[in-house]
Structure 1
Amino acid sequence: MEDRYIDRTVGLAAAGKLDEDRALLARLRYISTQLIREAIELKPEAAAWQWEVHTTSDPEVDAICMAGGKILVGSAFVRQLALTDGELATLLAHEVAHVVAEHARETFSEAMLLNRLPAVPLEVVMARLDSDLSLQIRLSKLSSLQESEADQLGMVLAHRAGWAADDMVSFYRKLAASEQSALVSGAYPATASRLSMARGMTLLFDY
């Protein structure tokens, strides 16, 4: 899994598409420091992970995370939604939540089980996760559950880091209004449900 991350970032850097927006990178790293601190409170072993946050101008990237604390955010996506710091914190918290819940490892484990007959090498399964539509469909239920968990856990992390509940709801409202984002694809719960979830979560923060 580390190799996938290295290949991705090296490829983006070679194409001149990694960390060009220094102002956005500074915002992301400042905000993520607060969120990672809260993540470590929830999961102490996360302190040993090599957390990294990068930006890319690749228009195909919204926001993605990889195992061990590797997060990549698309600058075009941030500009498209005109995200404030509070909304950006909600986006980052969602990705940090994926890492804390170790969703990447869970997905790889499930993919390995789906391919156990006949036995398929790990590197082949990793490649198929990006290119095999049938495998992606079989994993779609798990993916949707993971996204719901990351939405909720992410809001908890953002709240604990001191970000306003209104900003969290605003992020999901903007996401629901966006028709081009991968974050509103079939792998995710319906945007109306996510917005409703966000509003419901804010009620818990009032107690």
Structure 2
Amino acid sequence: MRYLLLVLLVLASQAMAQVPESGRWQELRFPAEEVEQQAESQYIEQTVSLAAVGRLDRDKVLLLRVKGIADGLVRAASALRPAAAEWSWEVHVTDDPAVEAESQAGGKLLVGSLFVERLRLNDGELAVLLAHEIAHIVAEHERETLSEALLDSRRDLPLDVVLERLASDVPLQFRLSKLAAIQEREADQLGMLIAYRAGWPCAAMLTFYSKLAADSPALTVLASHPSGATRLSLAKGMSRLLGD
């Protein structure tokens, strides 16, 4: 009885969730609302800074493309996680060369126009890129990473302190690199499923990951993404599985 009570107390102190489709269990110690509020603040700060130097939403044509494609992907993603339909989704583009594509909890997306131009992405390939980022949000990867960073501490820490540790603590980054690799593969798989269910063909997945493989730099010790060749192999497997 005492053991059962202890288990119940532990479970009550943390949130357990499963990633859509894969079913992988996650331990999520920070409340979703707190993570989403923090992500929104960071996103606002980032976009305001980009706007201040004239690097936000200058490519109006791309912005319209991205928004139109993202709308359909969000609808498909909401079928996998209904809560996604209630999030305040926001999309921007930037010509900051440091940005390829980024996502933050709660539905925040930022796409690098120079990256899209360099890979010459058509609408289907752009959909696969966006679906990958949307998959990160739907799978609550940011919340999971923050929670895992907290597990490294001997005591509870506020969210802002954990964020500071993530930015500066190299041993912590190294420890979390294994989780990051799992999350990237998961986002590839889930993203391709989202894109497919939104009506985009598997051919777009194959051409996107082919272009990405050709463009990928050599991996570093702390690399979170699998190699380009590995991701292309996964895309081929998903294409066969989806039967397109």
TM-score (norm 2): 0.79
TM-score (norm 1): 0.93
What is the alpha-carbon distance in structure 2 between the residues aligned to residue 179 and residue 191 of structure 1?
A: 6
Q: Note if 1:50 corresponds to 2:88.
A: yes
Query: Cα offset for 1:120?
Result: 4.0
Task: Name the amino acid aligned to 1:186.
Answer: A
For residue 72 of structure 2, what is the aligned residue in structure 1? 34
For residue 110 of structure 2, what is the aligned residue in structure 1? 72
What is the alpha-carbon distance in structure 2 between the residues aligned to residue 55 and residue 131 of structure 1?
A: 27
What SS class does the counterpart of residue 65 from structure 1 fall into?
strand
For residue 191 of structure 1, what is the aligned residue in structure 2? 228
**Relative to structure 2, which stretch is displaced further, 7-16 or 126-135?**
126-135
For residue 16 of structure 2, what is the aligned residue in structure 1? none
**Superposed CA offset, 1:153-189 (max 9, x none):** 000010011111111110000000014599xx81111
Q: Note if 1:177 corresponds to 2:218.
A: no
Query: Cα offset for 1:138?
Result: 1.3
Question: 1:61 pairs with 99, 113, 116, which one?
Answer: 99
What is the alpha-carbon distance in structure 1 between the residues aligned to residue 108 and residue 120 of structure 2?
A: 23
CA RMSD of aligned residues (A): 1.7
Query: Cα offset for 1:132?
Result: 3.2
Give ranges in structure 1 of 5+ residues lacking alignment: none
Higher Cα radius of gyration: 2
For residue 140 of structure 1, what is the aligned residue in structure 2? 177
Q: Note if 1:16 corresponds to 2:86.
A: no
What is the alpha-carbon distance in structure 1 between the residues aligned to residue 172 and residue 48 of structure 2?
A: 26
Give ranges in structure 2 of 5+ residues lacking alignment: 1-37
Q: Contact between 2:103 and 2:136, CA under 8 Å: does it hold in 1?
A: yes
Q: Note if 1:85 corresponds to 2:123.
A: yes
Number of aligned residue pairs: 204
Q: Contact between 1:50 and 1:69, CA under 8 Å: does it hold in 2?
A: yes
Query: Cα offset for 1:119?
Result: 5.0
Tell me: CA distance 1:181–1:123, structure 2 relative to 1, closer, same or farther (3 Å).
farther
Q: Contact between 2:216 and 2:228, CA under 8 Å: does it hold in 1?
A: no
What is the alpha-carbon distance in structure 1 between the residues aligned to residue 165 and residue 95 of structure 2?
A: 25
What is the alpha-carbon distance in structure 2 between the residues aligned to residue 91 and residue 173 of structure 1?
A: 12
Tell me: CA distance 1:155–1:50, structure 2 relative to 1, closer, same or farther (3 Å).
same
Correspondence 1:88-103 to 2 at 5 A: 88-103=126-141
Identity of aligned residues (%): 55
For residue 243 of structure 2, what is the aligned residue in structure 1? 206
